[in-house]
Amino acid sequence: MSPMRLLTAVPRVPGHLAVIMDGNGRWATQRGRPRWMGHVRGAHTVREVVAHCARVGVGQLTLYAFSSDNWKRPREEVGFLFDLFASHIDRQLASLVANGIRFSMIGRRDRLPRPLVDAIEVAERRTAAGRRMHLRVAIDYSSRESMQGALALDGARQAARLDATILPPVDLVIRTGGERRLSDFLLWESAYAELAFLDVNFPDLSTADLDAAFADFASRERRFGAVPIKEIA
Ligand code: FPP
């Protein structure tokens, strides 16, 4: 790719958006409610985020639903989340198919409950032809672990695993909930991502918040290590 190609204007919306959905628990406790209610509200927000991203032309949306470190949470909360993921996927499947959205999961499957893996695999099969947007959900995901697993292999096996593990580059990472870190999410893919840390808890994330983040993204000059456009004679 020539240097001039790298300096073309930033598109209005990110081609690949990654979202760290944080703040569900705080959303609930701030209202005197149990944490699970925050996750249920979060699932509503997931539906709106997916619909909005597809509407405005985001090509790939990757959502961080459950990190491999989240196994440290109470067993009841982990079980609740897995049930919620499975029922959400089941309920949204027809809409994903109708809207041309391809669904897939990244992360480890071997530790997930069978009904969740079944729901994921059905959704992956039935949405495989979707071309409008690719929605990925990260469950039992660790960026470091997935890279280490690939790098531990050798020769052709390593190349094949890296190829299957590394996603297309992320253009914009949005993290809700006020924390300012990546928490082992898409570390390699975010090498040149723009970062947006929003002080809103995930259940309260609105389409207006997304549009504001996209407008800010569109105003940034992404140089990928090159010189600023204005300094090119
Ligand atoms: C982080 O908030 C959120 C999670 C660990 C779960 C994310 C799950 C959803 C948004 C529900 C639906 C998702 C799908 C894909 C159907 P937190 O619990 O860490 O909040 P806290 O930091 O305030 O405690």
Ligand 1 center from residue 125 Cα (angstroms): 25
pLDDT bin (cut points 50, 70, 90) of residue 227 is confident
Residues whose CB is less than 8 angstroms from the CB of residue 41 and which lie 6 or more positions away in sequence, other chains included: 24, 27, 28, 203
The pLDDT of 186-200, averaged and rounded, is 98
Regarding beta strands 16-20 and 172-175, do their DSSP bridges make them parallel or antiparallel, or are they unpaired? parallel
Residue nearest to atom 1 of ligand 1 (CA): 22
Cα atoms found within 13 Å of the Cα of residue 135, Cβ hemisphere only: 27
Nearest ligand 1 atom, CA 45: 10
pLDDT bin (cut points 50, 70, 90) of residue 228 is confident
Ligand 1 center from residue 43 Cα (angstroms): 8
135 in Cβ contact with 50 (< 8 Å): yes
Query: What is this structure's pTM?
Result: 0.93
The pLDDT of 160-167, averaged and rounded, is 96
Ligand 1 center from residue 72 Cα (angstroms): 14
Which tokens go with 77? 């909360």
pLDDT confidence of residue 1: 45
pLDDT confidence of residue 137: 98
77 in Cβ contact with 35 (< 8 Å): yes
| Amino acid at site 165 | T
Q: Looking at the predicted structure, is the pLDDT value of residue 200 above 90?
A: yes
Q: How far apart are CA 107 and CA 11, in angstroms?
A: 29
Residue nearest to atom 16 of ligand 1 (CA): 85
Nearest ligand 1 atom, CA 39: 11
The set of catalytic residues is: 22, 70
pLDDT confidence of residue 233: 58
3-state SS, residue 87: helix
Q: Looking at the predicted structure, is the pLDDT value of residue 9 above 70?
A: no
201 in Cβ contact with 24 (< 8 Å): yes
The domain ranges of the chain are 21-218
* CA-wise closest residue to 15 among 134, 182, 141: 134
Contact residues of ligand 1, CB 6 A cut-off: 21-26, 39, 42-43, 46, 63, 65-66, 70, 81, 84-85, 88, 137, 177, 202
Topology of domain 21-218 in CATH is Undecaprenyl pyrophosphate synthetase (3.40.1180)
Q: Looking at the predicted structure, is the pLDDT value of residue 5 above 60?
A: no
pLDDT confidence of residue 231: 72
Ligand 1 center from residue 228 Cα (angstroms): 38
139 in Cβ contact with 71 (< 8 Å): no
The pLDDT of 146-171, averaged and rounded, is 96
Q: What is the DSSP letter of 74?
A: -
Q: Looking at the predicted structure, is the pLDDT value of residue 7 above 60?
A: no
Which tokens go with 166? 């590394």
Which tokens go with 132? 């409008």
Gyration radius of the chain over CA positions: 18
Ligand 1 center from residue 81 Cα (angstroms): 8
Nearest ligand 1 atom, CA 201: 23
Residue nearest to atom 11 of ligand 1 (CA): 43
3-state SS, residue 216: helix
3-state SS, residue 175: strand
* CA-wise closest residue to 133 among 188, 205, 51: 51
CA distances from 137 to 20, 152, 186 (A): 11, 25, 12
Residue nearest to atom 4 of ligand 1 (CA): 65
Averaged confidence pLDDT in the chain:
94
Dump pLDDT digits (tens) for 16-74.
999 999 999 999 999 999 999 999 999 999 999 999 999 999 999 999 999 999 999 99
